[in-house]
Amino acid sequence: MSHNVEHDVIITGVPPAPGSAQPKAYSRRPIEELVQDEKQFALYVQATDLMMKTKAADMLSWFQVGGIHGAPEEPWDNVRGLSNPSWLGYCTHASVLFPTWHRPYVLLFEQALVGCAVKIAGRYTGADAGEWMQAAVSLRAPYWDWARNPVPPREVIEYATLTVPGPDGNDLVLDPNPLLGYRFQSDAPQVDPRPQTVRCPTQRNPNVSNLQALITSLQVLDNPNDPMRDRVYDTLNDAQSWETFSNKRTSQGAFRNSLETIHDTIHVLVGGNGQMADPAVAAFDPMFWLHHTNVDRLLALWQALHPNTWVSSVTGPGEGGTFTISRNAHVNASTDLTPFWNGQTTFFKSSSPGVRQWQILNYDYPEFAQVAPGSDARAAILAEVKRLYLDAEDDEDDVPAPTRAPLAPGQLTGATTTATTAVQNAAAASLHGTAQAAQQAAHAVAPNPAAASVVASAAAGVLQAVAGGAQRAHAAVAPAPAPEAVQPSGGGQARPLAAGEGEDTQVTFVHAPAAGPNTRLDWFARIRVKAAKVGSSFTVLLFVGEPPAEEHDWRSAENLIGVHAEFVNSRPGQCSNCEENAEVVTEGFIRLTRTLRKRGLYRRPEAEIEQFLSHGLEWRIQKIDATVVTADEVPGLEIAVMTVPLEFSQERHGWKKADEIRPTHRNLTSGRAGGRPLPQQ
């Protein structure tokens, strides 16, 4: 479909160098590498500064490019919106178009940035003038790989000023450092009450970034119980369909985070109560572009691992709208990615050359530069993804390890044995009391000395798992009881689940078959919520046992399992259909397997693991202004413990879920605020 509208900007990618006929797909570089390149970094920060100081009405100014995402809710480059839009920005969130819409958006930023860099390079007239121009034309938007380097270089978050080589041969001091934030211009419409963008500000000083709070927040990404590199690796490998990979809406059979869910976490951790945590104004922060260039890189890596999968078609209830896309509109690979013109009368689409084949738009990523022509690109990228994100502590995940024998079908009866009940009671006592209380509880339920010994040792294992963390002494744990002694409670009993819960409307087994020699169970928590109803971005934090008394200690707590974040518009009143969109349910996942392994429970009987989680799992919800809210105050919050059996794949030399297997509910959070309701009987 053509659109005969006058406009100023056609997005082509970085144009050829002056005097050259053909552009080249130079690699976008990690920011920690770029800061070491004297010439390119000097051009990058000067170009950023120039974009920020360009008149706000210019379509390629910092204000105009940043404003496409949300505020000021005005047409960009003459692309008019609907008369009654669902969202007052062009960005597609909670949509199958999320990854592909942001690809030309980052490309537009890169085109504007390098255009400024070329202008600046032209001012260098010394003997090395040619080197400066080459540095400019080969510059591409840098990325921040937050999974590998949770805290970016000090030039990005700390230094108040930057000193770089200037065009006249003298040092040039950039004061203030443009990478710290954008100062809203006086000739721009007001989009935020604060004079500049800030990161993790305190309530006392809302107009000032708080460096220590930002670093503490970002260190969550390296939390040993659920590091971001695990999430990235799992998403790239295990999110097989476009629906599960692309966006955060609930998806049948999903057990890994989507790209958008991971993306949301970064926004909220960087922003705190600053602009990065609010979709309406996030794109004004310079870290938005470092972040989204990395999101685009992860899309490219996923494409290499799943070359035959691309944008799916979605229509009907649940598909939200934008400034230019109607709510519940049919969207697919042919939907216009407005407002991004790729010609005089056409917009980019997900099917457009350059969206799926990004290199033809004159950029690439370092991982692909290492793929030899004619070689197996998928195998090469998989090896690189493993090198980057597969943690050394997960070596046991690379090869099959012996496990306990699977239970026979007759043992999956659903009956709760005396021993299991004893473990339940003793575990509860050990979590909330003492080892002596656990011993007494064990004897009370299992008066037989031999049975009591088995129960007490199992309960002691749970106690040590909570109290001892990774230092748990394996010698103190009794060998796993025989199947006759302890059976998984509720194992194998099929139950119809409550209607209206997505994939849960089908019959699901409470327990999957136990792991065999070439299989293992992966444990995780699934978090679902109607996030838009909360009114601002927020985090859900999972702990083993009670969190610290002081809320500011939560993110650095040793017993923190992981954090799930929701990226929420703070100004729904400006959106005519936001009330409808507030019914959208989104989901994310926090793996529990690493926590179980660190506490010596991973190879223990499933009954012990269940009791450890049912009595030890705690959660807290905190809004970006540091307000703590109860689970009852978060509409639709449902935290469920689930498992999925993984098979060892010789082809991938790694673990994967069989296509026909679906995650299994463990019903360990039922009856608690924010827990998963019990299935209907």
Which tokens belong to 92? 């597609």
**What is the model's pTM?**
0.83
b/e map 618-641, b = 16+ CB within 10 Å: ebbbbbbbeeeeebeebebbbbbb
The angle formed by the CA atoms of residues 70, 51 and 356, to the nearest 5 degrees, is: 60
Burial class (CB in 10 A: 0-12, 13-18, 19+), 414: middle
Among the residue ranges 2-16, 38-52, 156-170, 230-244, the one predicted with the least confidence is 2-16
CATH 2.60.310.20 residue window(s) in the chain? 492-665
Q: Note the residue count of the chain.
A: 681
- Whether the bond into 339 is cis, omega within 30 of 0: yes
Res 184 pLDDT > 70: yes
- pLDDT exceeds 70 at position 362: yes
Distance CA 89, CA 74 (A): 8
410-420: per-residue pLDDT in tens?
Answer: 322 233 333 33
| Beta bridge pairs of residue 30 | 143
pLDDT band (50, 70, 90) for residue 491 = very low
Q: Residue type for 67, please?
A: G
Q: What is the pLDDT of residue 450?
A: 40
Residue 553: count of CB within 10 angstroms of its CB: 12
CA distances from residue 431 to 435, 488, 611, 648 in whole angstroms, order as listed: 9, 20, 10, 35
For domain 492-665, the question of CATH label 3.90.79.10 is answered with no
CA distances from 294 to 178, 261, 277, 289 (A): 20, 14, 17, 8
The answer for residues whose C-beta is within 8 angstroms of residue 125's C-beta and 6 or more apart is 167
Note whether 294 and 236 are within 8 A (CB): no
Spatial distance between the Cα atoms of 558 and 553, rounded to a whole number of angstroms: 10
Structure tokens, 521: 């169970």
Distance CA 612, CA 459 (A): 9
Nearest 5°: CA angle at 257, between 516 and 316? 115
Tens-place pLDDT, residues 494-548: 233 333 343 443 333 334 445 556 778 899 999 999 998 898 999 999 999 999 9
Look at 545 and 652; give whichever has higher pLDDT. Answer: 545
% of residues, the chain, pLDDT over 70: 74
124 touches 274 (CB < 8 A): no
Q: Count CA atoms within 13 Å of residue 416 on its CB side.
A: 10
Residue 455 main-chain phi, psi, to 5 deg? -65, -45
Average pLDDT, stretch 571-581? 54
The pLDDT of residue 561 is above 50? yes
Q: What is the pLDDT of residue 448?
A: 42
Question: The tokens 């050359």 sit on which residue?
Answer: 353
Under 8 Å between Cβ of 60 and 113: no
Helix (H, G, I), strand (E, B) or coil at 277: helix
Residue limits of CATH 1.10.1280.10 in the chain: 26-197+274-390
The helix (H) or strand (E) run that includes residue 53 is helix 38-53
Query: Where does the pLDDT of residue 403 fall: very low under 50, low under 70, confident under 90, or very high at 90 and above?
Result: very low
Those residues whose C-beta lies under 8 Å from the C-beta of residue 381, and which sit 6 or more positions away, are: 301, 304, 305, 367, 368, 371
Mind listing the pLDDT tens digit for each residue in 602-630? 889 999 999 999 999 999 999 999 999 99
CA-closest candidate to residue 350, choices 311, 294, 321, 299: 311
Pairwise CA distance, residues 260 & 312, whole Å = 16
Each residue's pLDDT tens digit, 46-91? 999 999 999 999 999 999 999 999 899 788 988 876 655 555 678 8
Task: Please report which helix (H) or strand (E) contains residue 588, including its range.
Answer: strand 586-591
The reported pLDDT for the residue numbered 88 is 62
Q: Is the pLDDT of residue 238 over 60?
A: yes
Out of 5-9, 153-157, 394-398, 606-610, give the one with best mean pLDDT: 153-157
Q: Is 481 exposed, middle or buried (0-12, 13-18, 19+ CB in 10 A)?
A: buried
pLDDT at 326 (0 to 100): 61
Instruction: Return the number of other C-beta atoms located less than 10 Å from residue 474's C-beta.
Output: 9
- Calculate mean pLDDT across residues 630-634: 95
- Is pLDDT above 90 for 657? no
CATH superfamily assigned to domain 26-197+274-390: Di-copper center containing domain from catechol oxidase (1.10.1280.10)
* Residue 630 identity (one-letter amino acid): T
Q: What is the mean pLDDT of residues 228-251?
A: 93
* The two structure tokens encoding residue 644: 């999925």
Residue 594 CA to residue 522 CA, distance in Å, equals 9
Mean pLDDT of the chain, nearest integer:
81
Residue 460 clears pLDDT 80, i.e. is over it: no
Calculate the alpha carbon distances from 40 to 1, 34, 47, 159, 469 in Å: 40, 7, 10, 18, 46
Residues 6+ apart with CB under 8 A from 21: none
Q: What residues does 444 pair with on adjacent strands?
A: none
Q: Give CB contacts under 8 A, 24+ apart, made by 215-219.
A: 215/151, 215/157, 216/555, 216/556, 217/269, 217/270, 217/272, 217/555, 218/146, 218/150, 218/151, 218/269, 218/270, 219/150, 219/151, 219/555, 219/556
What is the separation of C-alpha 582 from the centre of its chain, rounded to a whole number of angstroms? 21
